[in-house]
């Protein structure tokens, strides 16, 4: 399969090239030239495992660039934990995506990318430098997914003072091929530095660059897996199925939309945001107006210029088609906190702030409907990662998983940089040329 740029000014490339370059030179984002039809899988009453459905989906996009045994090996190494639908009440399910190494949904994409890159570069005898901007969870997932992978360096940029204590520890306590930059600015500033580096020919002539943010299409492909698996777990598949997704950069929901187009029977998507309401406003006004991000308690969603909206526009082509597939509302910190508290009291179920926003979006949609449906929201991170926020809300102490307790004891390793491209450029050349 070939992948084209949403801007249409770059030649289509293979999966390998889209994976390793991350972003086309015309400043667009890669999208698959054709959408495979796997609808027959979901019309059958089957009991495919998570690994089996993941293999079937990934094979369509990689399309013989790796052997069957190589793809199977990738899936066996990266899909090593479950993604269960947890029934909270009535017909409301949380798709729990926090059982991976860093207890966040981004473990799926990071591990898949790492194993694909490893397979492609084993015989290439060259080094790749991955640039990642993170608002919290992406960086730690990528760091752990790529840790000690031969031939790959990972350079992570995160906004100083704008991630949780545990997120920062997960980001900054690895060594070997992981390099962490603490940027004096916002996530949007970090992302601008990364995008500028990708488009800087003088830099790319000196060092090989790639991306592991959701601007890389290979991050989105493995995120399709769990939408498919979630649907396969549902008991009553005759009901329409709704997914509500906590959204920051809108990569996770874009993966779901691609999944719908390959045949997963998804009736409706809700893109639930925090106070960074760029997409909700776009759907109302039809005008895309990015703005500086606002800091919230759901920090991994603090994005003022969500990159993946261009993929959604490309996928559906006109605003009416987008609106028929995507509803999007924003919720503030007070609403987020009240939802965490209410669900904890009523159902003894604790959510992270991001997952809470997903449920807020779902409940708003449900209040507008009379039909019986399968209602699924994405649980994107373990609440223990945000215990400093969640504990006061629930008036209790979350029991941290051992891996989180252990990381808090480790020493932070990071380099502080100003929000200045020249300083960033010099660091990259000094360290990796």
Q: Of 48-62, 108-122, 256-270, 276-290, which range is least confident?
A: 108-122
Mean per-residue pLDDT, 203-226 = 89
**Cα distance between residue 99 and residue 57, in whole Å:** 21
Task: Give the chain's mean pLDDT.
Answer: 93
**Helical H segments across 174-216, by residue range:** 187-198, 201-204
In the 8-state DSSP scheme, what is residue 411? P
- Return the domain boundaries, the chain: 81-104+218-400
Does pLDDT of 340 surpass 70?
yes
Identify the bridge partners of residue 272 per DSSP, sorted by sequence position. 246, 329
Residue 46 pLDDT grade (very low, low, confident, very high; cuts 50, 70, 90): confident
pLDDT number for residue 17: 92
Strands ordered across the beta sheet of 152-159: 209-211, 128-133, 152-159, 178-184, 415-418
Contact criterion met (CB below 8 Å) for 211 and 132: yes
CA distances from 190 to 133, 148, 164, 219 (A): 5, 24, 17, 18
pLDDT confidence tier of residue 341, bands split at 50, 70 and 90: very high
Cβ atoms within 10 Å of 204's Cβ, excluding its own: 14
Residue 123, pLDDT score: 62
Burial class (CB in 10 A: 0-12, 13-18, 19+), 409: exposed
pLDDT, position 240: 96
Q: What is the dihedral of CA 359, 362, 366, 372, to 10 degrees?
A: -100
Q: pLDDT above 70 covers what percent of the chain?
A: 99
Assigned fold of 81-104+218-400? Rossmann fold (3.40.50)
pLDDT one-digit tens code per residue, 92-147: 999 999 999 999 999 999 999 999 988 888 766 678 899 989 877 778 888 898 89
């Amino acid at each position: 399969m070939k992948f084209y740029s949403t801007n249409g000014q770059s030649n289509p490339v293979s999966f390998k090239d889209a994976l390793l370059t991350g972003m086309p030179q015309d400043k667009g984002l890669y999208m698959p030239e054709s959408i495979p039809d796997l609808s027959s899988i979901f019309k059958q009453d089957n009991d495919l495992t998570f690994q089996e459905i993941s293999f079937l989906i990934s094979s369509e996009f990689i399309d013989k660039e790796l052997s069957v045994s190589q793809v199977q090996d990738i899936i066996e190494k990266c899909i090593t934990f479950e993604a269960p639908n947890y029934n909270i009440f009535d017909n409301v399910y949380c798709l729990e995506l926090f059982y991976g190494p860093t207890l966040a949904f981004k473990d799926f994409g990071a591990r898949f990318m790492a194993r694909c890159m490893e397979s492609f570069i084993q015989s290439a005898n060259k080094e790749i430098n991955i640039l990642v901007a993170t608002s919290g969870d992406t960086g730690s997932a990528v760091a752990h997914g790529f840790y000690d992978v031969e031939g790959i360096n990972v350079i992570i940029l995160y906004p100083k003072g704008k991630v949780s204590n545990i997120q920062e520890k997960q980001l900054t306590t690895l060594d070997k091929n992981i390099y962490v930059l603490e940027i004096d600015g916002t996530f949007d500033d970090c992302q601008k530095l990364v995008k500028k580096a990708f488009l800087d020919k003088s830099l790319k002539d000196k060092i090989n660059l790639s991306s592991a943010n959701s601007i890389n299409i290979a991050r989105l492909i493995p995120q399709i897996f769990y939408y498919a698996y979630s649907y396969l777990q549902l008991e009553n598949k005759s009901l329409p199925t709704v997914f509500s997704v906590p959204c920051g950069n809108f990569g996770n929901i874009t993966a779901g939309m691609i999944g719908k187009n390959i045949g997963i029977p998804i009736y409706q998507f809700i893109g639930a945001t925090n106070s960074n309401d760029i997409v909700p406003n776009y759907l109302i006004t039809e005008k895309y107006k990015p703005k500086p991000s606002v800091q919230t308690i759901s920090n991994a969603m603090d994005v003022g210029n969500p990159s993946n909206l261009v993929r959604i526009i490309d996928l559906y082509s006109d605003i009416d088609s987008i609106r028929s597939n995507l509803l999007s509302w924003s919720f503030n910190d007070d609403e987020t906190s009240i939802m965490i508290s209410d669900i904890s009291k009523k159902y003894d179920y604790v959510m992270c702030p991001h997952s809470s926003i997903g449920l807020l979006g779902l409940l708003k949609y449900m209040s507008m409907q009379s039909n019986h449906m399968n209602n699924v929201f994405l649980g994107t991170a373990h609440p223990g990662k945000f215990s400093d926020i969640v504990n006061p809300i629930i008036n209790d102490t979350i029991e941290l998983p051992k891996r989180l307790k252990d990381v808090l004891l480790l020493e932070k390793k990071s380099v502080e940089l100003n929000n200045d491209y020249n300083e960033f450029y010099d660091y990259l050349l000094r360290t990796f040329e």
